[in-house]
Amino acid sequence: MRRSKLRHDMRQLNLDAMYLSSPENVRYFSGFTGDNGHLILTQEEQILLTDGRYTEQAAMEAKDVTVVLLSGKLSAAISKYVVSRRVGYESSALSDDTARALRAACPDTEWVPLSHFGLAARSVKDADEIAHIRRACAIADAAFAELLPLIRPGVTERELKRELEYRMDRLGSEHTAFSTIVACGERSSLPHATPTDHAVSEHDLITFDFGAVSCGYASDITRTVMLGTPELSHVFELVLSVQKQVVERVCPGISCSELDAFQRSLFAEAGMSEYVVHSLGHGVGLQIHEDPRVSPGSETVLTPGMVITIEPGLYLPGKGGVRTEDTVLVTEHGFERLTNTPHHIVL
């Protein structure tokens, strides 16, 4: 099904073959999960080249695909299958050096660069993909529920990060979806802070941004937790209220830029525009950040099956920040939150 759609696109683009090299697209279109796979598709064939570490795994995972042992130069191996043809390739996934080597090895082939290929197809998830993301979200929710009793004055960001990641791992996450963020106090004004040995204090805001992975699919959730009564408690309440209102707007037919503009209008009404420093969200799937981008320039219109994050935040330099984020499924008539940790957490 996925490959027949791809072949349809190839005919539209007048391509004789397609060469896919990003691990996500190779996985999506072949089933192979290793990190060294090169998939060549023509209208008749599908060939997966991989090295000796993966040939047995590839034969098990990649159904109806011819697995070829890759030995020697990649460009020479690929040249056997693409001579004198017009071939599309993922320009964003190939280094200049590899692209040059391919051109040199196949002088009669017309190489057609396609940037971000596959992202549009992958932005609408099927039932299996949604089940994997749902599980990744459930793991993150359960791990965070276990972490809550450990959040108290004196514990450091790095300790909390370790505890959270250990729990996600124990609950079945394949690995973390990205580098876990834990930022307390004024450090929470850094949207992507790296956890340090800074300790939580009595009246504090602590932001956690983390995700689990199930069958290759990620979840993405942020919660800012309030300890005692920090100075920025009004910011906490505002961000939670904005996030709720924006999530409730998610439905088929609305564009990503409209959603982003809506959050900005709500923050503007509250006189807080200057503290908005990033766009509203992004698609989630085999990659933690993928299409559709939920940003001012994104005219993508939401359709059922898309999975996006809604993650408004406010960041006051030197004082602190608040962000709250859910992974959200676009359904036939609206939305479903896939992350279900409560938002209003005061310890």
Q: Is 290 in the site for Zn ion (CB under 5 A)?
A: no
Q: Say how far apart CA 166 and CA 304 lie, in whole Å.
A: 34
**Number of residues located near Zn ion, criterion CB under 5 A:** 5
Q: Is 165 in the site for Zn ion (CB under 5 A)?
A: no
Q: Is 209 in the site for Zn ion (CB under 5 A)?
A: yes
* Residue 308 structure tokens: 């996006």
Task: Name the minimum Å distance from CB 311 to Zn ion.
Answer: 5
Contact track, Zn ion, 102-141, x by CB under 5 A: ----------------------------------------
Closer residue to Zn ion (CB): 224 or 309: 309
Closer residue to Zn ion (CB): 58 or 206: 206
CA distances from 241 to 57, 190, 232, 346 (A): 48, 21, 15, 15
Task: Name the minimum Å distance from CB 309 to Zn ion.
Answer: 4
Q: Is 220 in the site for Zn ion (CB under 5 A)?
A: yes
Q: Is 219 in the site for Zn ion (CB under 5 A)?
A: no
CA distances from 254 to 68, 244, 309 (A): 45, 16, 15
Find the distance separating the first CA and the last CA of the chain, reported in whole Å.
Answer: 49
Long-range CB contact pairs, 63-72, < 8 A, 24+: 63/31, 65/30, 65/31, 65/32, 65/39, 70/36, 70/38
Task: Name the minimum Å distance from CB 325 to Zn ion.
Answer: 5
Q: Which stretch binds Zn ion (CB under 5 A): 22-30, 150-158, 318-326, 335-343?
A: 318-326
Q: Is 260 in the site for Zn ion (CB under 5 A)?
A: no
String of DSSP letters for 155-181: -BHHHHHHHHHHHHHHTT-SS-SS--E
Q: Where are the alpha helices (DSSP H) in the chain?
A: 2-12, 23-30, 55-61, 74-82, 96-105, 119-123, 127-147, 157-170, 233-247, 256-269
- Return the residue of 22, 50, 298, 309 that touches Zn ion, per CB under 5 A: 309
Q: Which stretch binds Zn ion (CB under 5 A): 99-107, 245-253, 324-332, 334-342?
A: 324-332
Q: Which stretch binds Zn ion (CB under 5 A): 101-109, 137-145, 147-155, 201-209?
A: 201-209
Closer residue to Zn ion (CB): 46 or 180: 180
Q: Is 243 in the site for Zn ion (CB under 5 A)?
A: no
Task: Name the minimum Å distance from CB 328 to Zn ion.
Answer: 11
Closer residue to Zn ion (CB): 112 or 288: 288
Q: Is the dihedral of CA 255, 260, 261, 262 positive or negative?
A: positive
Q: Is the dihedral of CA 337, 339, 342, 345 positive or negative?
A: negative
Closer residue to Zn ion (CB): 141 or 220: 220
* Residue 161 structure tokens: 């990060």
Q: Say how far apart CA 69 and CA 48 lie, in whole Å.
A: 9
By CB under 5 A, name the binding residues for Zn ion.
Answer: 209, 220, 222, 309, 325
